Structure 1
């Protein structure tokens, strides 16, 4: 063999003849098969294992996609790449192409959470803030689209790199979904399964647009400030409580405790006296028409304690693009008088479902004037 034949044989041996990727990590999504100048020999063997997809890219254009299997790279199984290259005589010489291996197995236990509290409006508690977090699982469903739209020229693309984008997408769509759900605030934590399914349906098209399939989505917890949680618990108890039955039950327990008192004559007498009084009170509660024997009723004592002071309504208002308050009715009137706010300023108080212009709130229309009575009708 002459010198030129030896050089040709040596160069031929330098070209790739087996293309495969063994993944030893658990977080790599896409890996670019590296080779000097990306040269691949005609008739080279391509090995794509289960859970992988091989993507050939030629000068930024998607050429071919191979699912699991073993292939011999020729013009017969690279029709798109052959067209892009424009070879007239087949692969008589090595060709260049970038080869990406994409992991198509399920990526599980990916974390998501709301970075900032979500503000919601509740009919009973006004504006409230909640946070949420959970997990999701995804897989690459369209390897070609994913390589072209997301990976680009990254030679080793991990799930960490895509997670930040996906978590931002999830937080945005989660905020929209819970806002449109319009549930009472105490039901968010009790309906995480239904919310999870709804959020998955809303987010799936967004994931699919870049070649990703959202397989699972879970809301693990919806949290709120401790003071709000206490208010909700107290409201729930009061809403469910029968105060009349509670009073009768406590009176009966007091009589039972007095009857079992065996602490001496004085204690027994005191217990009997307390039991007698409580029995009278319980009898009156159970049947107000039964007042005992005629003439035995004691005159009612007139209470000297005044009723509680009325609670002033608190208003919030918008000024310079920010929420201000709370303020009382008189303070709000002063703000209107010194032109800090005007008739078109947004205001809100507990019980209103949304912010409204000052001129639309009935009790605030007095700020606008028009309180002078019309002239008297002419006398006959």
Structure 2
């Protein structure tokens, strides 16, 4: 003979348990007059034949056709409470479930106002509470004997990430501004999620964005942008990249990798090569010019051995050269102005 339950209760529920079914499987044999005990943190949903008949809050309830009117049509008008009937009770945990984690399993692509297309990761926490027990059981739990937060976290996480990405794109902010906007992003994303949670019989109590970080590739792009800003303009930025590529090449081994990196470096640093060629040319011209002296008449710089100034035509007095260092000597000099040797 099946056991008849005259007391229906669920004294304890685990910290992460949202719903527990009584009995765990099948249907229980109840009587009109059975006592339903609902704890302070619970709500009980009474089911028969897969249909929710009523919802009971905290307290001690006697099962009668008065407090569950639908029982009359389900068990028959002639029923006097002497024969058990089959039903199930779902005890719903009404506590707030806190510190539930969310995060981006894959980076989010975002068009940044300053950097172009960037890829970001984000994570945070949220808390929730069952707001409509009957809706939650019907839509999410079904006939399961036990339903925990771990069973819905994956679904909620996907929903959270989708709405967060939408709000982030709508905000149109640069990655550089995001750290100061966590409160705004948290509030905006929470507002977007409220209706989605409510459609499941849940209330999103709190929502927080804790961190938004760029991927490694985006971080490198940020570093290069900072370097360009420090150097000043694009031409110098390309020169900087070429110099860095050639510096990296010098410290690495392997001809194959070196050749590839050298090609990149030379391609990025074409402007640098032209600049270097100009500097070398100027240096060679300066080396060919040799020592000079100043014309006493017009002040022009002229070759040290010139007898006439090519600028004003004034005849130059011969001063000779220092016998010690070979430097040109001004007319009448008794000591070399370059090495200090006595020449007179």
TM over 0.5: yes
Q: Return the index of the structure with the highest Cα Rg.
A: 2
CA contact (8 A) 2:112 2:174 kept: yes
Provide Cα deviations, 1:105-125, integer angstroms capped at 9, x if missing partner.
000000110111011112321
Q: The residue matched to 1:97 in structure 2 has which SS?
A: strand
Task: Name the CA distance, whole Å, in 2 between partners of 1:310 and 1:37.
Answer: 75
The answer to whether residue 15 in structure 2 is matched with residue 26 in structure 1 is: yes
Q: What is the number of equivalent residue pairs in this alignment?
A: 238
How far, CA to CA, are the matches of 2:117 and 2:235 in structure 1?
27
Paired residues of 1:75 and 1:90 also in contact (CA < 8 A): no
Q: Is the 8 A contact 1:18 1:47 kept in 2?
A: yes
Distance across 1 between alignment mates of 2:81 and 2:204: 40
After TM superposition, the structure 1 = structure 2 runs for residues 262-281 of structure 1, keeping only pairs within 5 Å, are none
Change (3 A) 1:168 1:309: closer
Are residues 226 and 89 of structure 1, via their aligned partners in 2, closer, same or farther at CA, if it must alter by over 3 Å? closer
Q: Say whether residues 1:219 and 2:206 are aligned partners.
A: no
Task: Structure 1: state its 5+ residue gaps.
Answer: 1-10, 244-306, 312-380
Q: Supply the distance in 2 between the matched residues of 1:75 and 1:220 (Cα, whole angstroms).
A: 52
User: Match for residue 86 of structure 2?
Assistant: 96
Corresponding position of 1:177: 167
What TM-score, normalized to structure 1?
0.57
User: 1:192 aligns to what?
Assistant: 182
| Residues 45, 133 of structure 2: 8 Å contact kept | yes
1:47 aligns with 2:37: yes
| SS of residue paired to 2:150 | helix
Identify unmatched segments of 5+ residues in structure 2. 239-344
SS of 1:136 mapped into structure 2: strand
Cα distance in structure 2, aligned partners of 1:130 and 1:188:
11
Report the Cα offset of residue 61 of structure 1. Answer: 1.3
Q: CA deviation at 1:100?
A: 0.7
Asked whether the 8 Å contact 1:186–1:232 carries over to 2, the reply is: no
**Is the CA contact 2:104–2:123 (under 8 Å) kept in the aligned structure 1?**
yes
Q: Structure 1 residues 169 and 129, CA, compared in 2 at 3 Å: closer, same or farther?
A: same
Give the SS at the match of 1:188: helix
Aligned to 1:66: 56
RMSD over aligned Cα atoms: 3.1
